[in-house]
Structure 1
Amino acid sequence: MRIAIKWFIRTAEFVAAIMMAAMFLTFILQILVRYTAPLGWLAEAVPLFEPSRYGWTLEFCLALWVWIIFWGAAFVVRESDHVSFDMVYHVVSPKARTWFAVIGGLAVCAGLLWSMEPTWSKFHILRLKRTATLDSLLGDWIRMRDIYSIYMVFLLTVSLRYAWRVWTAIRHGADNGLHRTSGAADQ
């Protein structure tokens, strides 16, 4: 089981890295086209550098940014990587910490699951809306709902993660290694 989880985490990190590399390369392409656009002779000599062909780069970077944020938050960022205000958490008893983990986890899980239906109903409208410029890159099949669909994956995945956190806190207590910080214990 641990091998499968480790493989899944590595794959999720790889996908995030590929998306970041694609966004970076597209950004570099934007810069190249922007600074060669005033050179009209270059576009005539090399039609590949025609600036009007690269309107899609901005929207592609924005779509990748949305995917990187929600993909990373759902699959790459660990609970211990999140900012938390845990001054009270660390001074209470282990039983109280378990209750904090259970109540907090249930609140996050319930809030995210509750927001899924209203979010999906808004996505119903986006199924008709086409992207402004990505047609030239991906064809006319992609819709705004496809771009923002990663948000639904995020809602479901983070809900499941917090449900699992609640389950493990009930079974093993809140301090089963989830809130470790780097230091002497890690070395």
Structure 2
Amino acid sequence: MIENLAAIGSWLRARAENLLAAMLAVMFIVFIIQIVFRYLLNLPIGWTHEISVMMWLYLVLFGTAFVVRDSEEIRFDLFYAAASPRVRRGMVVLTATTVVVLFTISLPAVIDYIAFMKVQRTAYLKIRFDWLYAIYGVFAVAVIVRQLWLGINALRGVDPVSVDPLKSTSGV
């Protein structure tokens, strides 16, 4: 059962990475189109800017919610690596509790704001802003779930991944 869930999780993660790569490709292609139209053809177009901004927004929030691992998150590695496993677990619990409380408090206002934004649309493509900003609600829920998981594991005594400050990696 656990192996099946792990396999499904790995497959979903790979598809999320594929989606991020596609978003990056779209953003790059649209950026090149924008340069060609503006500087070579002297015909500035606005829809390319809108798509670039949308892709960047979704790249960052979707990527952080579903692709970036905890080991790839930004932290003060010098302090974290120098701490004992027990202190590291305490750091994780403190951080997770703070993030869960703050994101949970803000979640109703976030959802209200996203729902409110249905009255506005983007200038060129006429995409409703509630559809555009919905990714932040997904991101907020994903952050809450991830931090709850990390905090509970730390309370159960699972040692967070040790960090070697002398080892430089890409997070893989």
Q: TM-score range by the shorter chain?
A: 0.7 to 0.9
Instruction: Tell me if structure 2 keeps the 8 A contact 1:30–1:57.
Output: yes
Alignment of 1:33-182 (within 5 A): 33-38=37-42, 51=43, 54-135=45-126, 142-175=127-160, 178-181=161-164
Instruction: Tell me if structure 1 keeps the 8 A contact 2:118–2:128.
Output: yes
Give the ranges of 4+ consecutive aligned residues of structure 1 lying more than 4 Å apart after TM superposition.
Answer: 180-183
RMSD: 2.0
Alignment of 1:5-16 (within 5 A): 5-16=9-20
Cα separation, 1, equivalents of 2:63 and 2:157: 27
Instruction: Tell me if structure 2 keeps the 8 A contact 1:80–1:179.
Output: no
**Unpaired stretches in structure 2, ≥5 consecutive residues:** none
TM-score by length of 2: 0.84
Tell me how far 1:81 sits from its aligned partner.
1.3
Tell me how far 1:156 sits from its aligned partner.
0.6
Cα separation, 1, equivalents of 2:77 and 2:38: 47
Instruction: Tell me if structure 2 keeps the 8 A contact 1:16–1:68.
Output: yes
Cα separation, 2, equivalents of 1:2 and 1:94: 26
Instruction: Tell me if structure 2 keeps the 8 A contact 1:98–1:174.
Output: yes
Q: Greater Rg, structure 1 or structure 2? A: 1
User: Structure 1 residues 149 and 111, CA, compared in 2 at 3 Å: closer, same or farther?
Assistant: same
Write the deviation string for residues 13-53 of structure 1: whole angstroms up to 9, x where unpaired: 11111001001001111111113434xxxxxxxxxxxx47x
TM-score by length of 1: 0.78
Cα separation, 1, equivalents of 2:41 and 2:84: 65
Write the deviation string for residues 149-178 of structure 1: whole angstroms up to 9, x where unpaired: 111111110111111101211223333xx3
Which residue is equivalent to 1:46?
A: none
Instruction: Tell me if structure 2 keeps the 8 A contact 1:101–1:174.
Output: no
Which residue is equivalent to 2:7?
A: 3
The number of residue pairs the alignment matches comes to 162
